[in-house]
DNA sequence: GCGTTTTTGACAATCATTGTCGTTGTCGCG
DNA sequence: CGCGACAACGACAATGATTGTCAAAAACGC
């Protein structure tokens, strides 16, 4: 046994995933990102993509959304914490900020003695374009 | 062809699932519920449990929660809409009401022209009992 | 009661995600 | 600078929840 230092190593693959996420705008599934990396000529295994994304998510560097569809979607974490308004039909996503919600969640959690609080909030609806008029 | 009336039929299995949910308190997975039904002597197929739960969820009669674990959890829908504060360690769940959040979500969605709005909100944290003091 | 239509349910299929484990690349230290 | 330890990689198999399939059974209207 040694000093249990969580040594995270800097590898080409990790950089590639980070770089890709850095220039991506919307949400993408792990498999999506993997396909894009291959197109770019980066040789990265699917397993590694999953693991890297998990690591980044753990580190709080990216957002994870779990839509009803079943696929996890990842996205580079934007500065301010925000939530998403997703169209059920076309998948269009609008970012919305909710300072009120943030503080409310924290307050409620604190009232019950909970610490290390995080939350997930997604709003689903039908956008104007997809609405049968 | 006939008049396309969505006739929902009243079957023993559907009643069994509803009844079970009616006396259950917490969240349970479909497989959980299926196992409980078998213990009771009710003969219901797993496929049917899934379908029934989906139907109930569609009808808004039960809540669905999708924890990071991956398994969908179902629960009889309580009167008022509310959300959940879940302990990461022990899974303890506290119900919390958030009228402010409700109206905020609706308002935000409306601002973007979205209709037929629903939302999911889960708060995760570490409860006092599980917190290493 | 009878026919029609939904529902059921055993089983197979799907498919994202995770585990495995030998190999490879990194990094710290001498 | 070179070596050794050890994390990371990655191809593949495994997992496991959910969904599709379709013939047989049940429920409802008349």
Asked if B59 and B91 sit in the same domain, the reply is no
Asked if B126 and B85 sit in the same domain, the reply is yes
pLDDT attached to residue B77: 66
Asked if B44 and B61 sit in the same domain, the reply is yes
Asked if A66 and A28 sit in the same domain, the reply is yes
Name residues of chain A where pLDDT drops below 50.
1-4
pLDDT attached to residue A34: 92
What's the CA A44/C1' C24 distance, rounded, in angstroms? 14
Asked if B107 and B122 sit in the same domain, the reply is yes
The domain that holds A23 is classified in CATH as 1.10.10.10
By CB neighbour count within 10 A (0-12 exposed, 13-18 middle, 19+ buried), where does B123 fall?
buried
Asked if A71 and A88 sit in the same domain, the reply is no
Rounded CA-CA distance A16/A10 in Å is: 11
The residue among B131 and B76 whose pLDDT is bigger is: B76
- Residue B45 pLDDT greater than 90, yes or no: yes
Asked if B4 and B67 sit in the same domain, the reply is yes
Q: Tell which strand D nucleotides have any atom below 7 Å from a protein Cβ.
A: 5-12, 17-21, 26-28
Instruction: Answer yes or no: are the C-beta atoms of B37 and B20 closer than 8 Å.
Output: yes
Rounded CA-CA distance A53/A61 in Å is: 9
Q: Which two tokens stand for residue A94?
A: 């609008």
pLDDT attached to residue B48: 94
How many domains are there within chain A?
2
Cβ of residue B7 lies below 7 Å from strand C: yes
0.85 exceeded by the pTM? no
Helix locations, chain B, DSSP H: 12-23, 30-39, 46-58, 99-111
pLDDT attached to residue A25: 74
B100 in contact with chain A, both atoms CB, cutoff 8 A: yes
Instruction: Answer yes or no: are the C-beta atoms of B104 and A98 closer than 8 Å.
Output: yes
What are B92's strand-pairing partners? none
Q: What is the pLDDT of residues B57-97, one digit of tens each?
A: 888 788 888 777 678 888 876 656 778 888 876 767 788 88
Asked if A31 and A54 sit in the same domain, the reply is yes
Rounded CA-CA distance A65/B102 in Å is: 20
How many percent of chain B have pLDDT more than 70? 87
Three-state secondary-structure class, residue A106: helix
What's the CA B104/C1' D1 distance, rounded, in angstroms? 63
Asked if A2 and A47 sit in the same domain, the reply is yes
pLDDT attached to residue B6: 60
Asked if A114 and A72 sit in the same domain, the reply is no
The domain that holds B90 is classified in CATH as 3.30.1490.190
């Amino acid at each position: 046994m040694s000093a249990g230092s969580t040594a995270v190593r800097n590898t080409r693959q990790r950089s590639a995933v980070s770089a890709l996420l850095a220039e991506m705008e919307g949400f993408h599934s792990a498999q999506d990102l993997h396909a894009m990396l291959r197109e770019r000529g980066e040789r990265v295994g699917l397993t590694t993509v999953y693991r890297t994304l998990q690591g980044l998510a753990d580190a709080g560097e990216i957002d994870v959304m779990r839509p009803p569809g079943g696929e996890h979607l990842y996205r580079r974490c934007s500065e301010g914490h925000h939530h998403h308004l997703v169209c059920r039909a076309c998948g269009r996503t609008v970012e919305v900020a909710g300072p009120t919600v943030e503080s409310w969640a924290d307050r409620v959690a604190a009232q019950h003695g909970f610490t290390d609080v995080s939350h997930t909030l997604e709003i689903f609806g039908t956008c104007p374009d997809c609405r049968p008029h």
